[in-house]
Amino acid sequence: MHIVIPDDYQDAVRHLKAFDKLKGHQVTIYNDTVKDVAAQAERFKDADVLVLIRERSAISAALLDKLPKLKLISQTGKVSSNLKVADCTAHGVAVAEGSGSPYSTAELTWALVLASMRSIPQEVANLKAGGWQQTVGRQLKGRKLGVWAYGKIGKVVAGYGKAFGMNVWVWGREGSVAAAKADGYEAAPSREAFFAESDVVSMHVRLNPETRGIVKAADLALMKPDALFVNSSRAELVEHGALETALAKGRPGFGAVDVYESEPIIKADHPLLKLPNAVCTPHLGYVEQSNYELYFGTALDNVVAFIDGKPTNIANPEVLKK
C-alpha cells in the first residue's frame, strides 16, 4: 500500500515510535501544506491511504473526484471540519477516526493564561534586549475564570483554574453546564454576565456549522479592560476580525491564541501578531510528544487493520460493504 502523510511541518512523524507500524509499506511524507485542489491531487494521486494530521489539509469532494485510487483516510483524532464523511462515502473511501488526549491542549491553554497574565513573552524579550521589570503582572488567585464548554478539555482547564484559586464558572449548552454543576462549578447566569464578569474567558467549543462565529464583537466588547480572552480551540469560533478589533479597542485588554483561520501563518502575516496585548503561539496545543504517539499510534493502527482486512474505528462502515 502507498500511504501518504501530508502537513508534517516539523518532520516529526518518521521519528515517532508509532511510525514503525508502517514498516514494509511505501510511505510518502510532505512537510508543508498545499491548499489548491490541483496541487493536492498531484501529491495524493497515487495514494491508497491518506493519514491526516488533524485539520491541516481539507479534503473536498472536488479533490476526491481526482483520487480514484484512494481507499482509506485515517484521521488523527476525530473527524472535524476538514472533511465530510458523506463525501468520502459517496466516493467509496473509508474514514477511520483516531483518539487523542485533552491534557496537552489544556496545558498549553494554561501556559497561555500564565504567559499573558504575567507578560512573560514581553519580559523575556525585554530582558534579552537589556531591560528589567517593564511590566506589572496580574495574579490569578481570586479572579474569575469563565470556561465556555465543559467537555474533555474544558473540564481539565476548569480544574487548573480551581487549583490556582480562581472562581470558576461555565457557559455553554445545557448538557455542558449540567455536567459542570454536577462537579461543583457555578453556571454563569447569562451570556452577558459570562463575558462582562469573567477575568479570563477560555474557549473549548467544537467547531461545526452551528458554532462558527459564535463569539460576536458585542460579546468581546462586554469584557473588562484588564480581562483576557483565550482561544486554543478554533479561530472560526470567533466572528471574523472581531478579536483583533476588540483588542485594538482595549476590551478585552488582552488576548492569547493558539489557532488561526488559515494555517500555517508564514512570515508573521496575521494582524494579531502585530498587537502588543496579544500572546500568540503556532497551534501547539496538541503538538506534544506523548500526544503525537497517541494520535499517530491509533491512526496507524487503523491503517494496518484496514490493510489486513480487519478495519477498525470506521466512521462510514457502509463503504466496507461495497
Express each pLDDT in 219-260 by its tens digit. 999 999 999 999 999 999 999 999 999 999 999 999 999 999
Average pLDDT score over the chain:
96
User: Could you tell me if 316 and 97 are in contact, meaning their C-beta atoms sit under 8 angstroms apart?
Assistant: no
Average pLDDT over residues 2-18: 97
- CB-CB contact of 200 with 228 (8 Å): yes
Residues in contact with 157: Cβ distance below 8 Å, sequence separation at least 6, in sequence order: 106, 109, 110, 145, 147, 202, 204
**Is residue 191 domain-shared with residue 227, that is, in the same domain?**
yes
Question: Span 15-36, mean pLDDT?
Answer: 96
For residues 162 and 269, membership in a common domain is answered with yes
Residues in the chain: 322
Instruction: Output phi, psi for 317, to 5 deg.
Output: -60, -20
Share of the chain above pLDDT 70, in %: 100
In this structure, what is the dihedral angle of CA atoms 29, 35, 36, 41, given to the nearest 10 degrees?
30
Edge-to-edge strands, sheet with 94-97: 26-29, 2-5, 49-52, 72-75, 94-97
pLDDT tens, position by position, 134-157: 999 999 999 999 999 999 999 999
Specify the pLDDT at position 36.
96
Q: What is the CATH number of the domain that holds 147?
A: 3.40.50.720
Which pLDDT score is estimated for 99?
87
Q: Are both 95 and 14 inside the same structural domain?
A: yes
Query: Which residue range(s) make up the domain with 232?
Result: 103-280
Average pLDDT over residues 27-33: 97
Kindly indicate the confidence band of residue 167, based on its pLDDT and cuts at 50, 70 and 90.
very high
φ, ψ for residue 279 (rounded to 5)?
-105, 125
Residue 108 and residue 96 share a domain: no
Nearest to 147 by CA among 161, 135, 133: 161
% of residues, the chain, pLDDT over 90? 97
**Same-domain check for residues 96 and 107:** no
Confidence category of residue 74, pLDDT binned at 50, 70, 90: very high
- Label residue 95 by pLDDT band (50, 70, 90): very high
Reported as a single tens digit per residue, the pLDDT across 249-306 is 999 999 999 999 999 999 999 999 999 999 999 999 999 999 999 999 999 999 999 9
What are the residues whose beta carbons fall under 8 Å from the beta carbon of 61, sequence distance 6 or more? 84, 87, 90, 91
Statement to judge: residues 156 and 228 lie in one domain:
yes
Cell 447566569 belongs to which residue?
A: 189
Q: Which of the four pLDDT bands, split at 50, 70 and 90, describes residue 81?
A: confident
40 with 123, same domain? no
Domain shared by 234 and 187, yes or no: yes
**Quick one: 144 and 265 in the same domain?**
yes
3-state helix, strand, coil in the chain (%, to 5): 40, 15, 45
- What is the model's pTM? 0.93
Same domain, 128 and 76: no
Are 74 and 108 part of one and the same domain?
Answer: no
Residues 81 and 110 in one domain: no
The count of domains in the chain is 2
Question: In DSSP terms, which residues pair with 170 in a beta bridge?
Answer: 147, 187
E strands within the chain? Answer: 2-5, 26-29, 49-52, 72-75, 94-97, 144-148, 167-171, 186-187, 200-203, 228-231, 254-257, 278-280
* pLDDT band at residue 105 under the 50/70/90 scheme: very high
Residue 177 has pLDDT above 90, yes or no: yes
